[in-house]
Structure 1
Amino acid sequence: MAIGAFAWTGSVFWGAIEIKGDFTDLTTAVPCLIGVALLLIGFAYSAKALGQSWKRERNFVGFTLFGAAIAAYVSHDLSIAVDVVIVLLTTACGVKALTKHLADPLGNYCLIGIAFFTYPLLYIPLRLPGSDISAEHLDQLLAVPFTTVGMMIFAVGFAQSREKIISTVNALNESKDVIKKMLYTDPDTGLPSRQRQLEWAEELTAAGTPFAIIGIFFRNYSQVYSNFGMQYGNAIVAEFVNALKEILPPGYQLGKSLGMRFSIVATGDIDDAILASFANRIIERMKTPFQLEDAAIMVQVSIGSSTYPDDGVSLADVIRNAYTALTEAEQLGEPAYCRFSEELVKKSQYLHWLDHNLRLAFDRSEFTLHYQPKVDLRDGSCNAVEALIRWTHSEAGSIRPDQFIPRCESNGLIIALGHWIISTAASNAAMWSARGCPMRIAINISVQQLRDPELLPKLHEAQTIAGGLLDFELTESCFMSNDPHFLELISQIRHLKFGIHLDDFGTGYSSLSRLKDLPLTVLKLDRVFVQDIANASRGQKLLRAMIHLARELELQVVAEGVETQEQASFLKAHGVEFAQGWLYARAMPSEDLLAWYSVNGKYDYTAVSDKT
């Protein structure tokens, strides 16, 4: 269309010249030059196409010129010869240009150029002095055809542009469909996207139709991906989706949410019992492993739900509450279903309060270490304690460790808290030793802390400050890892003269083969077994077996939770070296411990220094 527009503009200006009839007149020369310039711009704009067109049409132009030359020669009249050449070139090229325009736009540019420039190129030399061909003659010959050809080329260009516009609009519509599909369809699973489900839920909310949102989390996808790779990961997701579709009731739309979370917008019968039954069917289905080639892969899910309008008067409330329920199910640590309740909101708010105030507690110095003595059952002396963290909030008062330590492990603050405990225990050990009361301090370490790259340097620094009086307590869950780095880390910690204590023995999943490979020095019997000493038939037998195991592994034994003299006597009689519990003392601050020690301490460091 551009070349047609330029040609049309140029022809209009040239037509003005024909009407004026005087090329030398400024008022006609300027439009003429503008017209020629516009034509040149038009052809320059399509220079590449012009070259391609000339290669295609040069034979046609040659034959046209040959015919015109013969006609001019036969005429024996210069005026007639010029007329013949101009008319043939203009007409032949113009007509074929229009024809080619319809069939192939690239085929007409050269012909348009010839048709339009034949006249202006000849017009100037014919007006030179000595020429006997008048301008009026050329005007009469070419003015109207020239302008007509320009109008026709513009018309054809406009028609083609209209087709282009229609084609572009169609392409945009197709692109719109593609974009809509991308917006409303998850590319990995083919399920409705989160956006599509949001819009459907908005429509249900606007209509006042009750519905439920069910969130499903593929709990162990990262484990599957790590062990089997992306190909198996994608395949297991596809199998998982197909399994969900198989048990999906009518009126339940399954969609893909964020990450490995899936969502269901459910309509129809959505009372609590129905939703719980559906969730349990999903959990039961996932107990059957998915078979991919030679691999049997188990899928673990967490499920949470909320309903409109019972759990929220707006869509945002229902979505938030479904997410709250799903988060609660995830924290249970096993495949589970959780229905939203106001109690979950209170719990969520409390956890938010914990997160905020735990961070402030460091700046406010609200953490303290309390120490519970470990008494030597053989002579009643005390030469070791266990460090236990305490938190006293400025407004809420004392907050139990079992409330805030798990939260620190989940929000990442356990690393900072662990560093504080190590440093504080080391300082107290050094202070006690300087005051003539050297006691070993056992500090508890979580699994997350073992992944801290700064742990070993921190322990080395602390043990130096403490004069070698620090020990290291780990729960059985820490020993489940098969990572060689873990075994190397424990060996390095032992090399720093830390005693390695296995805490709460018997309550986890210790493997005897693992125990023999670790550099343990102390085995701690959990209070559960100590409290069962009164059960002569089973409790005592189990304790004797555990004590015997420690003897075979050449480990010292510490019994936790000793509250009665009967328990202490039984443990002493069966060779348990140390005991801690309320029978002797509760956990207490550093200064209170020193006061207790001055009365009950009977310090004998050599009793355990060789072993720990």
Structure 2
Amino acid sequence: MVTVLNCIAVDHNLGLVLVAALVCLFGSAVTLRLLRRSVDAPDGQRVGWQFLASVAGGGGVWATHFVAMLAYETPAPVSIDAPLTILSLVIAMAGLFASFLVSGIRMSRVFPALGGAMAGLAFSAMHYTGMFAYRVVGLVEWELGYVVASILLTVMFSTVSVALTWLRPVGAGRSWIAPALLVTGIVSLHFTAMAAFRVTPVAGSFPDIDAQAVVALALAIAVAALIILGAGLASYLIDTNAQADSRERLRHLAAHDALTGLPNRSSFNDCLKRSIGDARAGDTKFAIICVDLNRFKEINDTLGHSAGDEALRIVASRMADSLEDGEFVARLGGDEFAAVKPFVDRSEVHAFASRLSDVFNRPMRISSMDAEVGASIGAAIWPDDAEDLDELINDADLAMYHAKHAFLESVCFYDAGIGETVRKRRKLAEALRNALEHDQLGIYYQVQMSLSSGEVRGYEALLRWTHPQFGSIPPSEFIPVAEENGLVTPLGAWVLRRACQDAATWASPCRVAVNVSAVQFMDANLPRLVQEVLIETGLPPHRLELELTETALIRDKTRSLHIMRQIKALGVGVALDDFGSGYSSLETLRSYPFDKIKLDRAFVEGIERDRQSKAIVRAVLTLGKSLDIPVLAEGIETEDQIAILRAEGCDEGQGFLLGRPSPNVELATQGGPAPWEMIGYPSGHHRSVDVEDAAPSPIRRGVNA
């Protein structure tokens, strides 16, 4: 040991020794970091990292050796053998690469230690090859004991260093131990080997060694080595930053909705946990606000899913821009959003909900159309409504559904009564879905008669539902539930198929009128569905008439006109339902090829006593005659009404005076539809209105699901 220390202190240029030490420290740290990266890399990348580590490590160790060798102040002239010097560099890099490959074998924990031992041997081979390239003009002697000691020391320290690098868990502390051991092994190798090196000068005259040239050469080699190591370190840092960016992106993706960029359900749950902790610590409250878009399904069904996605992105961006400090909003899925609002006074929740409502009610441009989605907003307060978070979320959800059902424009706060009402409606929705799946619905038919001849022209199909437990449920109750839960379209398809099946069994070739909702009509597959049903049931196309309201047409006139022409090309009739109750645009009658106009019952009800209603009825009848479109009056309940309509020249009528709805079974037992006697006539034909029959037709409503 004394000899080694004496060799360092007396026989070396300490300045260059310091340069060599810095190169060794930097090189060892970079090499083991690159090797450590290969531990966690996939199989396809592991060899690449091992190669980079071997290049950086071999270059760093070689430069350390060469600079330290130049620091050795020999008493005799020196020359360097270039081929052997280059060979020593190749030995260092190739030997390290082989050792790292062996250390990466995962079959046993022995291989990292074996690879480390091979690295020590590679260092030793590099050192002594370099020493053979160090040509001294004099007698050179080697002390075998120091040579063996130098090899054993570097093998021992390299073995432990590489094994620690491979076997130490990721993120474990004291990451400096492995580089320190490697540096110790390299330093031990060089200076112990140099202590074994003995030079006896040969007498003679030789030129003096240019000390400045030696220093310059050593520094040049050190700079070159640092450049190599810097390239390795840059690769490591680039990959580290790329991995950090990837992890951040993955974390962001895991916590945010991919479509809108808003936080997702997982982030929402985390926010709730933080909110409840903050509320307890600060003795405050917070509100959970659930939001459901009212007309999103319309946009999806009429304009396509890409338009629906664009609507969600616009809404999400506007909501994010409207947030203030402490407020949080997330997309839970579909068209459902949720927000968290800490507050002291409940008016703050009202203000927040009002800002959100403004976002949803602002027009947006989608697919060259202006649209408003609107929203139903419900809120629940912690801890007033519930202390359990799951229960609180459910309460806010119930309040939101109540707001949707009640068409509330402001936020609806949860209370016990709301919870019971919404739970009942949800049960009803589930029962309706089950009834649709198991064919538990029924259709009644109401006669449509010629007012001039009394001949039965057709029947309108009306959906009825009798639940096994709840009994008869009027359309006015279950149709809104169907609209809220997206069941109107499948209900409409079911009614169309069943009505055509029934009509095909009638003895008399009367037509059957089937109402079509706005959502169903804007479905591009509707003409195909009609054609399939007609083929399936064998009903002639001219015996089917589809009734739709003007609401179904105004959203996209080009699209609706195209669909209507496809339907009429099949030979199916199209009637404008509830004329007078909506937009009643004359442009609609001019632009669309209707086969019939159905006058809304509201005008028929007042025709006996209201001059304005009578004037409107007369105007509509005149318009129909001018356009050569038959007019059917709905809701005829008295003989005075039918007398006035006949006098004004109304073509057809429908109402309880003419016939109440009845199931197809009754029509079949009567031998099929038969002409009614003229009204005027037997008083027994007068029908009183009952609650169930007075309910609006399920699909006639034309309300968007």
TM-score (norm 1): 0.66
SS in 2 for 1:344: helix
Structure-1 separation of matches of 2:461 and 2:519: 18
Aligned to 1:339: 413
> CA contact under 8 A between 2:327 and 2:339: conserved in structure 1?
yes
Match of 1:439 among 491, 494, 510: 510
Alignment of 1:323 with 2:334, yes or no, is: no
Aligned to 1:33: none
Q: Do residues 546 (structure 1) and 620 (structure 2) align?
A: yes
Q: 2:498 matched to 1:424? A: yes
Give 1:549-564 correspondences, 5 Å limit: 549-564=623-638
Shift of 1:523: 0.7
After superposition, residues 89-168 of structure 1 pair within 5 angstroms as 112-114=123-125, 138-144=143-149, 161-162=175-176
Contact 2:272 2:340 in 1 (8 A): no
Query: How many Å separate the matches in 2 of 1:148 and 1:530?
Result: 110
1:551-592 Cα offsets, whole Å, 9 max, x none, are: 222111111111112211221111112111122221112243
Question: Relative to 1, partners in 2 of residues 1:337 and 1:390: Cα closer, same or farther, differing over 3 Å?
Answer: same
Tell me which amino acid in the other structure corresponds to 1:255. Answer: V
Q: Bigger CA drift: 470-479 or 236-245?
A: 236-245
Q: 1:120 to 1:464 in 2, by over 3 A?
A: same
The 8 Å contact of residues 376 and 403 in structure 2, kept in 1 or not, is answered as yes
- Residues 12-69 of structure 1, C-alpha deviation per residue, up to 9 Å, x if partnerless? xxxxxxxxxxxxxxxxxxxxxxxxxxxxxxx999643466458868976997999799
**What SS is found at the alignment partner of 2:662?**
coil
Q: Which residue of 2 aligns with 1:310?
A: 384
The answer for the alignment partner of 2:447 in structure 1 is 373
Note if 1:350 corresponds to 2:350. Answer: no
What are the superposed Cα offsets for residues 93-124 of structure 1, whole Å, 9 maximum, x if unpaired? 9xxxxxxxxxxxxxx99993347656999xxx
Q: Which residue of 1 aligns with 2:286?
A: 211
The answer to whether the Cα contact below 8 Å between 1:449 and 1:455 also exists between their aligned partners in 2 is: no
1:346 match: secondary structure: helix
Give 2:176's aligned amino acid.
R
Quote how far apart the aligned CAs of 1:283 are. 3.5
Contact 2:504–2:537 at 8 Å: present in 1 too?
no
Equivalent residue in structure 1 for 2:55, among 25, 48, 54:
48
User: 1:75 is matched with which residue?
Assistant: none
Amino acid in the other structure paired with 1:577 = D
Tell whether 2:597 aligns with 1:523.
Answer: yes
Q: Are 1:405 and 2:416 matched, yes or no? A: no
Are 1:53 and 1:109, in contact at CA under 8 Å, matched by a contact in 2? Answer: no
In the alignment, which of 222, 241, 246 is matched to residue 320 of structure 2?
241
How far did 1:463 drift? 7.2
Alpha-carbon distance between aligned partners in 1 of 2:673 and 2:339, rounded to the nearest angstrom: 66
Tell me how far apart the structure 1 counterparts of residues 123 and 330 of structure 2 sit (CA, whole Å). Answer: 58
For the residues of structure 1 that align with 2:363 and 2:571, how far apart are their CA atoms?
Answer: 47
Partner of 1:514: 588
Trace 1:180-199 onto structure 2 (pairs within 5 A). 193-199=267-273
Greater shift, 43-52 or 208-217, is seen at: 43-52
Contact 2:450 2:652 survives alignment (8 Å):
yes
1:361-384 alpha-carbon deviations (Å, 9 max, x no partner): 256543222111122221333232
* Distance apart, 1:525 and its partner CA: 1.0
CA 1:515–1:152: 2 relative to 1, 3 Å = same
- Residue 562 of structure 1: SS of its match in structure 2? coil
Query: Which string of whole-angstrom CA distances, capped at 9 and with x for unpartnered residues, describes residues 145-199 of structure 1?
Result: 555666787899999951889999xx89989999888877889778894244222
1:569 and 2:576 correspond? no
- TM-superposed deviation, 1:269: 3.3
Q: Kindly provide the amino acid, as one letter, of the partner of residue 241 in structure 1.
A: A
Alignment-derived partner of residue 100 in structure 1: none
CA shift in 2, pair 1:388/1:148, >3 Å: closer
Please state how far the C-alpha of 1:344 moved relative to its aligned partner: 3.4
Match of residue 327, structure 2, among 226, 235, 253:
253
C-alpha displacement of 1:396: 1.5
Corresponding position: 1:266 with 2:341: yes
Q: Kindly tell me: are residues 397 and 190 of structure 1, through their superposed partners in 2, closer, same or farther at Cα, counting changes over 3 Å?
A: closer
Looking at structure 2, the residues matched to 410 and 540 of structure 1 have their Cα atoms a distance apart, in angstroms, of 37
Report how far residue 346 of structure 1 moved. 2.9
Comparing 330-339 with 503-512, greater Cα deviation is found at: 330-339
1:495 aligned onto 2:502: no
Residue 529 of structure 1 aligns to which amino acid in structure 2?
A: F
Preserved contact between residue 531 and residue 570 of structure 2 (Cα < 8 Å): no
- 1:267-320 Cα deviation digits (max 9, x unpaired): 44344x66445534554577677999x999977443221112332231111112
Gaps of 5+ in 2: 1-24, 30-49, 80-87, 93-118, 133-139, 166-173, 181-232, 679-705
2:97 equivalent in structure 1: none
Q: In the TM superposition, what are the counterparts of 1:435-474 in structure 2 within 5 Å?
A: 437-450=508-521, 451=523, 452=525, 454-461=528-535, 464-466=538-540, 468-474=542-548
Superposition RMSD in Å? 5.3
Name the count of aligned residue pairs.
510
After TM superposition, the structure 1 = structure 2 runs for residues 291-302 of structure 1, keeping only pairs within 5 Å, are: 300-302=374-376
Distance 1:257 1:499, change over 3 A: closer
How far 1:442 sits from its partner (Å)? 1.1
- Given residue 659 of structure 2, which amino acid in structure 1 is its aligned partner? A
Contact 1:211 1:270 in 2 (8 A): no
**Bigger shift: 283-292 or 474-483?**
283-292
State the distance in 1 between where 2:617 and 2:340 align.
54
**Cα 1:274/1:150, change in 2 over 3 Å:** closer
CA distance in 1, matches of 2:359, 2:658: 52
